Structure 1
Amino acid sequence: MTRSDVGLVIDTATVTAHHQAGRHAHGLHALEVLDHLRQPYRRLDALDLTGADDLAVLVTAELGPVTPEQRDALEAWVRAGGVLVLGDHDLSLAGLAGVTTAPAEFGRVDFADDPLWTQRPSRPIRAITGHQLTPTGDDVSVLATWADAQDTAAITRRPLGDGVVFCLGVAVWETLVTLLQGHPVTEDGRPAADGSAPLDEGILKAEDGLAFDIDADRQLPPGEPDLPGGRYEFGYPPPYAAPLFDLPQADLWAIAVAQLVWAGLDHVGSANGWLHYWPAGVPAMAHMSHDSDGNIDEEGQAALDAFAEADVKVTWCQVYNVRKYSPEIYDKITAAGHEHALHYNAMDDADIAQWGWEQIKGQYEWAQELIRTDTKIISNKNHYTRWEGWTEFYQWCEQLGIQLDESRGPSKIGSVGFTFGTAHVGFPMGDVELANRPMDVINLPLHTQDLCWASHASSRDVILDGAESVHGVAHFLFHGPHLLRRPLTRAACSEVAQAGRARGMRWWTADQINTWERSRRRIDVAVTATDTGWTVEVTAAAELAEAGVVLTLPGVGDGEVTVSSGTGSITPVVRHGRTFHELAVDLTPGTHRWELAAR
């Protein structure tokens, strides 16, 4: 069994109680955070430290009632050198952290200038709920504060014996799920006060469930002037920039959790590793999609030409309506190496263009037939980012075999950017009726569409920079009519492609991203210190070329690390503001070992 230095407590009785009461067990999302990171961990179904001598860090995500004996055992474990990260909703063990708690509502959290935060948000970021923390002694240091609540503590650190206790006053798992997935969509969302995001147009869409404060959580792109008179007046192309969701705030919360875990492993001097999100040496990824709205040959050909000029293979979402492209256009799409996907239409402008299972099933079958290839469609984007409910749509995708959806993003110039707080792919949490199981559909976020027409040119670098900063994927959507008739948008297509490549990003289709993420989720990493260096063991249940195994090797400093046994190369890299060593390897199914030495 692979040794794990991280334990994750998800009390199964507590999870069951939540579900029986009709409540989400948000702590289950901790599994998704660590699974996406590929940080080795062991799940504990209760707060039982029997046999936990190998654990360096213990994270609480769902915690039941704690007995005095359990509390005493946990305190003894910490005092003996363990690192405890309190992340459960109730914080019943806050006393170990040296704090008292009081309820905190929807607010923003400001991260302190502390060396622990190697990747620190540039401004306060949104939290859905949690606790205000009040230190009870001088041994507690404050790592973050509630910016909207007299700067009361939101995250703290306390040394306890030879160990450390971190306390997350933020309900981090609920915050992550709610920012990423929003609220159930049953009615129009609140429009932006400045007029730039009129969400109340009478069409249900993903943004209508937005969990962010649409006024407080956006910023203008750097260097852009304030809105004249505080109001946005629409024009095409946009006459000036609108505020946008400039930070991938959900990703920053997930990274904050990772940094606490890494700080705990540093505290005990443990060598450890995880798996880079993309091929070794690639800092972030880029994705371009195209929606076939109208299905007009001239527009389809213009899109083919534009993507050839940009040298990008795109995910081409085929929309159901009264027209089709000619067969030659579909064949050209295939020949150019683009991915055929579905563009599910629930805009009520054709006979089966409504929201429902029978409708999407019929449209999927229609699209599969018209693309004139045996390749199965596995990706989708909803026309106009249509959405209803919370996760029922993902069940439809599972039934159809759609493995990736890229619908969740902006429909308005004032809601572009990181609308749902993320540049990362992941598996959404299912509803309570599904016991909050992960949906077997990857979410690939959408960030903007039709630069220099539906969004201002200044949003481009905000999105690229934000995605690069968290090592995520930047997603740009284009439409054939604008690539045909809008010279600025046609030029912007090639320009964004080059700008991404200049950052070291690769342009991948949704199919490539889906295959990569599902493969890397089947890779496990273990690192063990030896007398001469370290042994890295990777167990792969799938093939993964150019994998980047990201390593913390205590004591190396500025020294050189070499691969003394095994095939691969190793180089220093910076990920999330920390210096790691990245072992670049080609993985095939099986167990692989490398011996590393420092000199």
Structure 2
Amino acid sequence: MIGLLVHDRGRASSYSVYLEEILSHAGLPFARHETVAGAMRDGPAVLLSIGRPMGSRAECEELERFVQTGGTLIQIGDGTGLDKVLGVRYTGSFEEEGWWTGAPDHPVTRECHVPLHAFAITGMKAITAMSLGAIVSREGANVGDGIAVRQAGDGIAVAIAPDVATTIVRIQQGIPVERDGAPAPDGTAPIDDGILKAEDGLVLDWERDRQPFDRGAPFFQVPVADEWRKLLVRFILWGAERQGVPLPMLWYWPGGLSAVGHLSLDSDLNEDEAAMTTLRVLDQADVKATWCVMYPGGYRSATYTAIRSQGHELALHYNAMKDDARSRWGEDDFDFQWRWLQERSGVPIVTNKNHYLRWEGETEFYRWCERRGIRVDQTKGPTKQGDIGFLFGSCHPWFPIEDTGDGMRRMAVLEIPLLTQDLVWTVPFEVCRPLLDRCVQHHGVAHFLFHPHHIHTKPEVARAVIALTEVGREWGLAWWTAEEIDRWERLRRQVDLVCRKIGTGGWEIHVRSPREVPDATLLILAPGGREREIPPLSFSGLTTDRVRLKRMDGFDFYEVRGTIRAGDAHVRVRGDSG
């Protein structure tokens, strides 16, 4: 079991609650605690500690004993008071941002090939711990160690200087959009175009966070937020593996899929003939898409019927690009357009993408969506060649977080970030390959946008749709609508996992779900490693279709595929004497 020890309770500006979001999305079992005593009673194998402990000497000694007797302690941010067990010295300095590069000779960090942008960095220097890479400031100065690891007794202590949760939230959500953002110095991304858009809130760096591309402008090829998310999960798995704990994870996708592909279509000109051409192209590609329909005008009734009858999703393409009635930025106009499309199409509208990726403010727009039952937004993406890719650092669907003044809350709208649009016409087709590669590496969603107008008038764009879906399938992707992604993510979030030791060397994983979850994939960290030919597992209340040993992201797992039935189920992992 994973313990989450939060020391910063009462601080309304803290993003510590987002660690719960990271663990929930990863499908890991965890329990939150606000006291050391409570965490120790729960008997965690891995303990994540965030915020300055500011506890008593007795509490710090208790955490040191936890490590000495085999536990894994991961301290995020200022861990003053735990300097001894962590093997570091906290300098008292603080950096708003910097870049960390991982050590190539450690099993957790060796895949971090590029400097990762980080925020809210506590000054830290490894003393008796091993440094896993330094933090470099914007000016290029070394400002301390980014991550340090120390073996203490039978356990492991990990110190992470950047606030991982703050880093991920700041990259994904950006800064409030109140004015044009600063354009790329090389002229490849002139986002200062007088139109307020999601990308105007960008916090990644044009020069440090983009990578060159031999067929065009440099772009954001590394999902930085996902790299930090994956790094934290890998430290958890590494610690559990060293202790022989069969830590379970409910995998991101059904059937063991590595990633999911998604096509969205923006109607813009609302041409019925273009829609019919697009339907034929999608049928040839054998893919279902999410159609974002824009006010004013819309399609004929027969076109909506054709789109729905072929299994596609109808969504809103909120238009706030004009000053005329009902096409302005504002909740009343958003509400009008949402109701207009539901009336015209005859179906509930649960997905939205803003026309031209318009955005103003911070999280206000998500509140508009919440009040109308819109479950998915797709507006976080690029409009220029030089900012395509992971400009918001993620290919994973994520729930935004909002500061209410009394604390942080997770909002009920799932954001599916956009990578690029109209391959061949706006960017070279080849950009899809590094993007697909990263999406598969991080097991996220490869979201590509096309316009029916271009599919209809430009044969090369129509061919690109078919070629993209074929390449995606070669990489192991299944192509889903936004509604399907949302339905699956919310369904899997209802499953509760608990892992506890029983007897001598044995473990029991308790699986509880209020609803049936078909084709689920449960990954169980293999405590015995690869030498076991047959997984030492037994099941109760779980329908299993397949069990095998699988290597994933550098770790060995027992992969259990099957149906999680509503109610309680158990998986027993036998020990050597079991």
Common fold by TM > 0.5: yes
Out of 310, 316, 323, the residue aligned to residue 342 of structure 1 is: 316
Asked if the contact 2:77–2:162 (Cα under 8 Å) also holds between the matched residues in 1, the reply is no
Task: Tell me if the contact between 1:280 and 1:582 (Cα under 8 Å) persists in the aligned partners.
Answer: no
Deviation per CA, 1:490-523, whole angstroms, max 9, x where unpaired? Answer: 1110000001111111000011000000001011
Contact 2:291 2:313 in 1 (8 A): yes
Aligned length: 566
The 3-state SS of whatever aligns with 2:211 is coil
- 1:339-384 CA deviation, whole Å, 9 max, x = no partner? 0111111111642111111111111000101113xx3111111111
TM alignment of 1:398-409, pairs within 5 A: 398-409=370-381
2:216 is matched with which residue? 241
Matching residue of 2:231: 256
Q: Name the amino acid aligned to 1:70.
A: E
For residue 9 of structure 2, what is the aligned residue in structure 1?
15
SS in 2 for 1:283: coil
Q: Is 1:141 aligned to residue 130 of structure 2?
A: yes
The answer for the alignment partner of 2:97 in structure 1 is 106
Shift of 1:86: 0.5
1:550 to 520, 523, 541: 523
Give CA-to-partner distance per residue, 1:12-41, whole Å, 9 cap, x none.
xx332x22xxxx211111111111112111
When the two chains are superposed, the root-mean-square deviation of aligned CA atoms in Å is 2.1
Look up the match of 1:367: 341
Q: Counterparts of 1:50 and 1:333 in 2: how far apart (Å)? A: 52
- SS of the aligned residue for 1:550 comes to strand
State how far apart, in whole Å, the 2-side matches of 1:389 and 1:48 are: 41
1:419-458 aligned at under 5 Å gives the runs 419-433=391-405, 435-458=407-430
Q: Which residue of 2 aligns with 1:61?
A: 50
Helix, strand or coil at the partner of 2:142: coil
Confirm whether residue 78 of structure 1 aligns to residue 67 of structure 2: yes
In 2: Cα distance, 1:56 partner to 1:355 partner? 49
Superposed displacement of residue 151, structure 1? 7.9
Q: What does 1:248-397 correspond to in 2, within 5 Å?
A: 248-321=223-296, 323-348=297-322, 350-372=324-346, 375-397=347-369
1:232-286 CA distances to partner (integer Å, 9 max, x unpaired)? Answer: xxxxxxxx41111001110110111111111221232211101110013211110
Q: Quick one: distance in 1 between partners of 2:416 and 2:39?
A: 40
Counterpart-to-counterpart distance in 2, 1:115 and 1:136: 18
Partner Cα distance (1:311, 1:346) in 2: 33
Change (3 A) 1:547 1:467: same
Cα distance in 2 for partners of 1:202, 1:112 equals: 42
Offset of residue 53 of structure 1 = 5.9
C-alpha distance in 2, partners of 1:201/1:380?
23
The aligned counterpart of 1:218 is 210
Q: Distance in 2 between matches of 1:454 and 1:598?
A: 57
TM-score (norm 2): 0.93
Q: Could you tell me which residue of structure 1 aligns to residue 485 of structure 2?
A: 513
Q: Distance in 1 between matches of 2:388 and 2:316?
A: 22
Q: Is the 8 A contact 1:246 1:463 kept in 2?
A: yes
What amino acid is aligned across from residue 223 of structure 2 in structure 1?
A: P
**What is the distance in 2 between the residues matched to 1:370 and 1:150?**
59
Moved more, 66-75 or 360-369: 66-75
Contact kept, 8 Å, 1:10 with 1:60, in 2: the verdict is yes
For 1:433, the aligned partner's letter is G
User: 1:46 matched to which residue of 2?
Assistant: 35
Deviation per CA, 1:202-248: give whole Å up to 9, x if none: 11111101010022211123xx1xxxxxxxxxxxxxxx411110011
For structure 2, which runs of at least 5 residues remain unmatched after alignment?
A: none
CA distance in structure 1 between the aligned counterparts of 2:243 and 2:370, rounded to whole angstroms: 43
What pairs up with 1:83-232 in 2 under 5 angstroms?
A: 83-89=72-78, 91-101=80-90, 102-117=93-108, 120-137=111-128, 140-147=129-136, 148-150=140-142, 152-221=144-213, 224=214
1:160 CA displacement: 2.0
* Cα distance in 1, alignment partners of residues 81 and 58 from structure 2: 14
- Deviation of the 1:578 alpha carbon: 2.3
Using a 3 Å threshold, how does the CA distance of structure 1 residues 32 and 106 change in structure 2: closer, same or farther?
same
**Partner residue, 1:6:** 2
Distance 1:207 1:50, change over 3 A: closer
Cα distance in 1 between the residues matched to 2:117 and 2:392 = 11
Query: Would the alpha carbon gap of residues 89 and 209 (structure 1) be closer, same or farther in structure 2, given more than 3 Å must change?
Result: farther
TM-score normalised to structure 1 length: 0.90
Q: Tell me how far 1:46 sits from its aligned partner.
A: 2.8
The answer to which of 323-332 and 287-296 deviates more is: 323-332
Match of 1:560 in 2: 533
Percent identity for Structure 1 against Structure 2 = 35
| Conserved 8 A contact 1:180-1:421 | yes
Shift of 1:132: 3.8
Which secondary structure does the structure 2 equivalent of 1:430 belong to?
Answer: strand
Greater strand proportion: 2
For each residue in 1:288-308, what CA deviation from the matched residue of structure 2 results, as whole angstroms up to 9, or x when unmatched?
000110111122222212211
Instruction: Supply the distance in 2 between the matched residues of 1:183 and 1:483 (Cα, whole angstroms).
Output: 34
User: Conserved in 2, the CA contact under 8 Å of 1:271 and 1:528?
Assistant: no
Between the aligned partners of 1:156 and 1:266, the Cα distance in structure 2 is 19
Paired with 2:323 and 2:295, the residues of 1 have a C-alpha distance of 9
* Residue 464 (structure 1) aligned with residue 436 (structure 2): yes
Structure 1 position 399, deviation (Å): 0.2
One-letter amino acid of the counterpart of residue 590, structure 1: G
Secondary structure of the corresponding residue to residue 37 of structure 2: coil
The letter of the residue matching 2:9 is V
Contact kept? 2:72, 2:156, Cα under 8 Å: yes
User: Is 310-319 or 125-134 further displaced after alignment?
Assistant: 125-134
Aligned partners of 1:109 and 1:146 also within 8 Å: yes
For structure 1, which segment, 67-76 or 186-195, has the greater mean C-alpha deviation from structure 2 after superposition? 67-76
- The separation in 2 between residues aligned to 1:333 and 1:557, in whole angstroms, is 49
